C-alpha cells in the first residue's frame, strides 16, 4: 500500500528536507515506532534514510515510497538476551564494546562521510548514541526520539560487571549531550544526559484493516475469544499445550519459528504479519513489556498480561503506564512456563482500559523534527552529558535492587498465596461498590498516612498494610465470620495512634550452614518471603485489653499496668494459639529481669503458645542486655510468609522483625549487626534452640540479590557479594520438616565442640613434649612450629584450623565417636554455652569436627569463584563445592531421603543435559541450614531453561513422593535496609 495519497499531513516547509534516521538494534519495537515518524515525514514530501539492522519488511509493510531509503548497518546492539525474557548484563556490555567501542573511530569517519554524501538536514536518533556524535562531527543538528537512553540502562550493568566497562556509560552520555534536544515519549525513564525535552503523545502504528476483516481472514468467529502471544518479534521458547488456554479461547503466536508445531487452538502468524491489526482484533495480549506492545495495547484498549524481563530498567516505567490506565496484569514467569494462564487472563478481562491520551505521537514528532531541520528550535544553556549522568547511575542501581524486580519472584498482589498475609488476601482482586476492581495501592493509602519510612515497592508490605487497613475498617463492625485471630486484632489497636511496622526476610543458606557455630565464613541470601510485625505502644490507661486480660488485672486488685498482647496471623492454620498476652511485670523479679532459664519455663507452660517466646523474648532480651524498661503497654501483630520447618529461618525472621518493631517504637538505636546478636540471644536463651548467628544476621543485615558474607567469630560482616547475572539460586523444599531444636542438629553441634576440645588437648600435649627438649629454642624452625601448635592449643574456633593442618596433625587423633560420660571424665566440658552433653549418649566426633574445617575452605573458594570470569568451568566448580557440602552434611548424619532425592534429581538433570549438545543449566545442589530435611539450595544458569528444569524437578519429586515442593525464588532487603514504617490512620474511626 502506497501512502503518498493519504489525507494525513505534516505541513511541508518551503524546501525539501533529508533526514538521516538511526535505529537501535534492540528489538522490533524501536523500528515500529520509527516507521510511524518516518511515514509522516515522507508524507510531507521529505526523504528519510533509515540506518537499521531490522528486516526490511518492518518498514516496507507500512511505507512503500521511493523516498524511503534503508541502509543496513548495526551501530549499537542494545541488550543481549539469553532468551526472550533473560537479559545478560555482562554480555550486553561486551557486545556493545565490540560493536560500538572498538570500531568507534572508523564508525565516526564512515558516518560523517555518509551524512555529507546524502546532504542530510537533520540527524534523528532512536537512542543510538554514536549517531549524535557523528552528527556533531559532520556539523549537522541532531535530535533524539525515545523513551529511554542506553546510559540509564547500562549504568546498572556496569556496576554488576565491577566497573569493567565504566567508560562505556560515560561515552554514551557524552554522545547524547550532542543532541539538540529530546523528543520524549510516554513511559519515559530518567535521561539526564539530554539538555532540553519536548514531550509528545504515544507513537502508535495505524490500523490497516478492521477487527471484523482480520477475524474473517483468520477464520475466527466473532464469539471466540482471541489471545495474541507477542514477545516483540522473538520466539517465546515456550512449550505450548492446548491446556494453556482458557476454554473457548484461541491464540495467535507471533515470532514462531517454521519448525514449531503448535497444538490445537494456537495459530502461527507469518513473520511479516502486521501486528497492530492483529492486536486490535484480539481480546487480550500476553507477552513481555516493550514500547511497541505497551503503546499499542494502550491505544487499542487491549488488556495486556505481561511478564517482566530481568535487568532492563525501562520496564518499571512502562509497567506503571499500563497499570495506571488499567491495561496491564503482571504474570510471574513460573506460571507462564507451566501454562497457568487462566487466572491472569480472567483478571485482565475484568479490567477496563482507560487510556484517553493522544496516539498521534508519530505525526507530532515528525512536525517537530521538520521544524528543527529548518532551525526553529534552539537549545538552552542547561548542563548536559556526563555532568548529570550520576543521577541516572544511582537511580538505575537502586531500581535494579528494588524487591520484586526479578521476573520469577514477584507474585502479583492480587494473586498472592492464600497462606500469606493473614490468609485473607488470597487470589481475587477486591471489587468496589460499582463492581470495578479496587486499586491495590489505594486500599492502604486511603486508610493510612505514612509518617516515616519507605515501602521500597515491596508488594508483600503493601499487602500487609492493606490487611491493616481492612482491620481498621472492620473496627467496631460485626466480624463474627472472621477467624479468631482477625477478631482479636481488630480490637487491640488504638486506630487513632501511631503504628510501627517492621519487616524481616527469611534466608537461603547458600554456603556455610552448620559451620557457623564453629566460626566459618558463610554466604547467605535473604529470600523474598518475610515476616511483618505491626506494633503500637499505649499508656496502660489507654490500652485496649482483651476481656480475659482485663479480668486478670481486676483479680490482682491493682490499677492498669503494662501488658503485652500479641496476635499471630496464620496461627490457627498451624495448630497454634493465635493470641498471647502477659503482664510485662511477669518479666521482672524484684527490680531485675527474670533469668533466661525462668523465661524458658514460662513459655513452655502451654505448648500451643510456646511460639510467643520468639516475639515476647525480644522484650526480655532488651531488658536484660540493654537495661531497657517498658512503661507502656504493647500490642503486636505478627504476620509471616516465611514457611515454617523448611530450613529458611522462619524463626529468625520473626525475631528480627519483632525486635526491629520494638526498637523503632521505643526510639532504640540498634545497629543491624547488634540487633542480630540480640535476636540470637532470644533463640538460644529464651526459646532454647542452639542455633548459630548466621540466620539472624542474614535477616537483619542482608540486601536483595546479594549474598551476605560473614565470618561467625562471632559475627563479622565482610560485605555483600554480588550474585553474577549469569548465576541464579533456588530453594526447593523437601517437605521433611526441619528443626534446629532437634536431636540431630544438637548432637552434631556437641560433636563439633568435643572435637575442638580434643584438638586443643592434643596440641597442648604436643607443645608440652616439645618444650621439655632443651634444644627446641635453638631451632627457629622448631620455634615457629611451637608457635603454630601453641595457637592450635588455644583454638577458639574450629574453622581457624586449615584442612592441611587438620590432616597432618589431628585427623587420626579424633575418634569416630565418643560417649558423653567418657568425654566428660577426660576433658571436663566441651565449652559450648548453648548445648549440654548427655553422659549416656554417644556423639559422632570426627565427621562433626571435620565438616566445619573443610566447609570454611569451601566457602572461601566459592566466594572467590563468584568473582571470576563467567564460564562453564566456573559454574561447574561452584556446583562441585555445593555437592561436596551436601555429602559432608550426610557424613555428619544430617541428611534425609527427601533432600538426597532432590540433589539426585538435579544431578540427573545436569548430566542428561551435559551429555547432549547443550551445556547444563543446573550445576549443583545441597541441603541447607540445620539439615535433617528442610530446603535444598540449587545453583544454575540464570535462564529460562534452568527455570524449566527446576519446574520439571518439582514435578518429578511430586510424582515420586506425592509432595509438591515449595519453591523459593528471589530475594528482598534485610530488616536493616528496610528500616521501619510509622503510620497513622487518616481519619477518626469513631
What angle, 0 to 180 degrees and rounded to 10, lies between the N-to-C axes of helices 743-771 and 846-866?
Answer: 90
825 Cβ partners below 8 Å, 6+ apart?
A: none
Exposure string over 599-624, b if 16+ CB within 10 A, otherwise e: bbebbeeeeebbbbbbbbbbbbbbbb
For 473-478, the CB contacts below 8 A with 24+ separation are: 473/447, 475/989, 476/989
- 695 an active-site residue? yes
Which cell numbers hold the place of 324?
495506571
How does DSSP classify residue 683?
Answer: I
440 alpha carbon, distance to own chain's centre: 20
Overall size of the chain counted in residues: 990
Which stretch of DSSP H or E encloses residue 30? helix 28-43
Which cell numbers hold the place of 822?
567418657
Measured distance CA(405)–CA(315) in Å, rounded: 10
53 Cβ partners below 8 Å, 6+ apart?
A: 23, 25, 72, 73, 74
Which cell numbers hold the place of 664?
523503632
Q: Is the peptide bond before 561 cis (omega within 30 degrees of 0)?
A: no
CA separation, residue 171 to residues 98, 130, 174, 203 (Å): 14, 9, 5, 28
Measured distance CA(715)–CA(672) in Å, rounded: 11
Exposure string over 86-125, b if 16+ CB within 10 A, otherwise e: bbbbbbbbbbbbebbbeebeebbeebbebbeeeebbbbbb
Local structure of 628: helix, strand or coil: coil
Which stretch of DSSP H or E encloses residue 46? none
- Among 151, 695, 733, 744, the one annotated catalytic: 695
341 contacts 251 by C-beta, under 8 angstroms:
no
692 Cβ partners below 8 Å, 6+ apart?
A: 514, 516, 517, 680, 712
Local structure of 580: helix, strand or coil: strand
536 contacts 497 by C-beta, under 8 angstroms:
yes
100 contacts 129 by C-beta, under 8 angstroms:
yes
CA within 13 Å, CB half, 880: 8
Which of 902, 901, 889 shows the shortest CA–CA distance to 732? 902
Measured distance CA(254)–CA(236) in Å, rounded: 9
Local structure of 989: helix, strand or coil: coil
Q: Is 536 left (phi over 0), alpha (psi -120 to 50) or beta?
A: beta
Phi and psi at residue 770, to the nearest 5°: -70, -35
For 947-956, the CB contacts below 8 A with 24+ separation are: 947/333, 947/334, 947/337, 947/408, 948/239, 948/337, 949/909, 949/913, 949/921, 949/922, 950/730, 950/732, 950/922, 951/334, 951/337, 951/338, 952/909, 953/732, 953/902, 953/905, 953/906, 953/909, 954/732, 956/905
As annotated, the active-site residues are: 695
Amino acid at each position: 500500500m502506497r501512502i503518498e495519497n493519504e489525507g494525513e499531513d505534516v505541513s511541508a516547509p518551503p524546501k525539501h528536507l533529508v533526514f538521516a534516521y538511526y535505529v537501535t538494534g534492540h528489538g522490533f519495537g524501536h523500528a515500529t515506532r520509527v516507521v510511524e515518524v518516518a511515514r509522516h515525514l515522507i508524507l510531507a514530501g521529505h526523504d528519510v534514510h533509515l540506518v537499521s539492522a531490522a528486516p526490511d519488511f518492518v518498514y516496507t509493510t507500512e511505507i512503500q515510497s521511493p523516498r524511503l531509503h534503508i541502509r543496513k548497518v548495526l551501530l549499537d546492539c542494545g541488550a543481549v538476551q539469553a532468551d526472550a525474557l533473560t537479559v545478560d548484563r555482562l554480555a550486553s556490555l561486551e557486545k556493545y564494546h565490540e560493536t560500538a567501542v572498538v570500531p568507534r573511530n572508523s564508525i565516526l569517519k564512515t558516518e560523517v562521510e555518509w551524512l555529507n554524501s546524502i546532504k542530510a538536514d537533520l540527524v534523528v536518533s532512536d537512542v543510538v548514541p554514536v549517531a549524535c556524535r557523528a552528527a556533531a562531527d559532520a556539523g549537522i543538528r541532531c535530535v533524539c526520539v525515545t523513551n529511554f537512553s542506553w546510559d540509564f540502562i547500562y549504568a546498572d550493568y556496569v556496576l554488576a560487571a565491577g566497573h569493567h566497562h565504566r567508560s562505556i556509560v560515560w561515552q554514551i552520555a557524552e554522545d547524547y549531550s550532542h543532541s539538540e534536544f529530546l523528543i520524549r515519549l510516554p513511559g519515559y525513564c530518567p535521561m539526564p544526559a539530554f539538555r532540553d525535552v519536548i514531550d509528545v503523545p504515544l507513537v502508535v502504528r495505524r490500523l490497516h484493516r478492521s477487527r471484523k476483516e482480520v477475524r474473517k481472514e483468520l477464520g475466527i468467529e466473532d464469539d471466540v475469544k482471541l489471545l495474541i502471544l507477542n514477545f516483540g518479534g522473538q520466539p517465546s521458547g515456550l512449550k505450548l499445550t492446548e491446556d494453556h488456554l482458557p476454554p473457548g479461547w484461541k491464540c495467535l503466536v507471533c515470532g514462531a519459528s517454521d519448525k514449531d508445531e503448535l497444538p490445537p487452538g494456537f495459530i502461527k502468524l507469518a513473520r511479516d504479519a502486521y501486528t497492530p491489526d492483529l492486536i486490535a482484533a484480539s481480546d487480550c495480549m500476553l507477552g513481555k513489556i516493550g514500547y511497541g506492545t505497551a503503546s499499542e495495547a494502550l491505544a487499542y484498549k487491549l488488556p495486556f498480561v505481561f511478564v517482566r524481563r530481568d535487568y532492563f530498567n525501562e520496564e518499571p516505567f512502562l509497567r506503571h503506564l499500563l497499570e495506571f490506565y488499567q491495561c496491564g496484569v503482571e504474570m510471574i514467569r513460573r506460571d507462564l512456563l507451566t501454562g497457568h494462564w487462566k487466572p491472569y487472563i480472567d483478571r485482565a478481562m475484568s479490567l477496563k482500559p482507560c487510556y484517553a491520551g493522544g496516539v498521534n505521537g508519530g505525526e507530532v514528532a515528525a512536525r517537530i523534527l521538520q521544524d528543527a531541520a529548518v532551525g526553529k528550535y534552539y537549545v538552552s544553556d542547561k548542563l548536559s552529558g556526563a555532568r548529570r549522568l550520576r543521577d541516572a547511575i544511582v537511580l538505575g542501581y537502586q531500581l535494579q535492587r528494588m524487591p520484586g524486580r526479578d521476573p520469577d519472584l514477584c507474585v502479583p498482589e492480587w494473586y498472592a498465596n492464600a497462606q500469606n498475609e493473614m490468609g485473607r488476601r488470597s487470589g481475587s482482586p477486591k471489587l468496589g461498590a460499582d463492581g470495578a476492581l479496587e486499586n491495590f495501592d489505594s486500599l492502604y493509602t486511603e486508610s493510612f498516612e505514612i509518617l516515616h519510612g519507605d515501602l521500597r515497592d515491596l508488594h508483600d508490605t503493601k499487602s500487609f498494610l492493606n490487611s491493616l487497613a481492612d482491620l481498621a475498617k472492620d473496627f467496631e463492625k460485626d466480624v463474627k465470620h472472621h477467624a479468631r485471630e482477625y477478631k482479636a486484632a481488630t480490637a487491640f489497636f488504638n486506630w487513632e495512634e501511631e503504628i510501627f511496622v517492621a519487616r524481616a526476610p527469611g534466608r537461603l543458606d547458600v554456603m556455610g550452614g552448620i559451620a557457623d557455630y564453629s566460626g566459618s565464613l558463610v554466604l547467605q541470601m535473604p529470600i523474598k518471603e518475610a515476616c511483618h510485625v505491626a506494633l503500637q505502644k499505649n499508656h496502660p490507661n489507654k490500652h485496649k485489653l482483651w476481656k480475659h486480660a482485663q479480668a486478670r488485672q481486676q483479680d490482682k486488685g491493682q490499677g492498669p499496668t503494662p501488658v503485652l498482647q500479641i496476635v499471630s496471623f496464620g496461627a490457627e492454620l498451624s495448630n497454634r494459639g493465635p493470641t498471647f498476652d502477659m503482664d510485662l511485670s511477669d518479666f521482672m523479679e524484684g527490680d531485675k529481669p527474670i533469668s533466661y532459664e525462668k523465661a524458658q519455663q514460662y513459655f513452655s507452660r502451654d505448648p500451643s503458645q510456646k511460639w510467643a517466646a520468639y516475639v515476647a523474648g525480644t522484650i526480655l532480651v532488651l531488658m536484660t542486655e540493654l537495661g531497657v524498661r517498658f512503661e507502656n503497654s504493647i500490642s503486636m501483630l505478627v504476620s509471616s510468609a516465611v514457611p515454617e520447618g523448611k530450613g529458611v529461618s522462619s524463626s529468625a525472621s520473626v525475631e528480627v522483625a519483632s525486635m526491629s518493631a520494638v526498637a523503632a517504637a521505643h526510639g532504640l538505636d540498634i545497629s543491624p549487626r547488634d540487633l542480630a546478636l540480640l535476636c540470637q540471644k532470644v533463640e538460644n536463651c529464651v526459646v532454647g534452640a542452639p542455633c548459630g548467628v548466621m540466620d539472624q544476621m542474614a535477616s537483619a543485615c542482608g540486601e536483595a540479590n546479594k549474598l551476605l558474607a560473614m565470618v561467625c567469630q562471632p559475627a563479622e560482616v565482610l560485605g555483600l557479594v554480588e550474585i553474577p547475572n549469569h548465576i541464579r539460586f533456588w530453594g526447593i523444599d523437601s517437605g521433611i520438616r526441619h528443626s534446629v531444636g532437634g536431636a540431630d542438629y544438637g548432637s552434631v553441634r556437641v560433636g563439633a565442640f568435643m572435637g575442638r576440645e580434643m584438638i586443643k588437648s592434643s596440641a597442648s600435649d604436643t607443645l608440652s613434649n616439645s618444650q621439655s627438649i632443651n634444644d627446641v629454642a635453638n631451632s627457629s624452625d622448631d620455634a615457629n612450629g611451637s608457635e603454630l601448635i601453641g595457637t592450635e592449643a588455644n583454638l577458639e574456633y574450629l574453622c581457624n584450623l586449615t584442612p592441611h593442618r587438620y590432616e597432618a596433625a589431628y585427623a587420626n587423633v579424633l575418634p569416630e565417636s565418643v560417649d558423653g560420660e567418657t568425654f566428660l571424665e577426660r576433658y571436663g566440658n566441651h565449652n559450648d554455652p548453648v548445648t549440654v552433653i548427655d553422659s549416656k549418649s554417644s556423639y559422632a566426633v570426627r565427621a562433626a569436627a571435620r565438616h566445619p574445617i573443610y566447609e570454611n575452605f569451601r566457602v572461601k573458594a566459592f566466594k572467590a569463584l563468584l568473582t571470576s570470569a563467567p564460564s562453564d568451568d566456573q559454574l561447574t566448580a561452584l556446583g562441585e563445592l555445593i555437592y561436596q557440602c551436601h555429602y559432608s552434611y550426610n557424613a555428619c548424619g544430617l541428611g534425609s531421603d527427601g533432600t538426597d532425592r532432590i540433589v539426585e534429581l538435579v544431578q540427573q538433570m545436569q548430566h542428561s543435559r551435559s551429555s547432549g549438545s547443550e551445556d547444563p543449566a543446573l550445576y549443583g545442589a545441597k541441603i541447607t541450614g540445620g539439615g535433617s530435611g528442610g530446603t535444598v539450595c540449587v545453583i544454575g544458569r540464570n535462564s529460562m531453561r534452568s527455570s524449566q528444569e527446576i519446574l520439571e524437578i518439582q514435578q518429578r519429586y511430586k510424582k515420586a513422593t506425592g509432595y509438591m515442593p515449595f519453591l523459593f525464588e528471589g530475594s528482598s532487603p534485610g530488616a536493616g535496609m528496610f528500616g521501619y514504617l510509622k503510620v497513622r490512620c487518616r481519619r477518626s474511626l469513631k
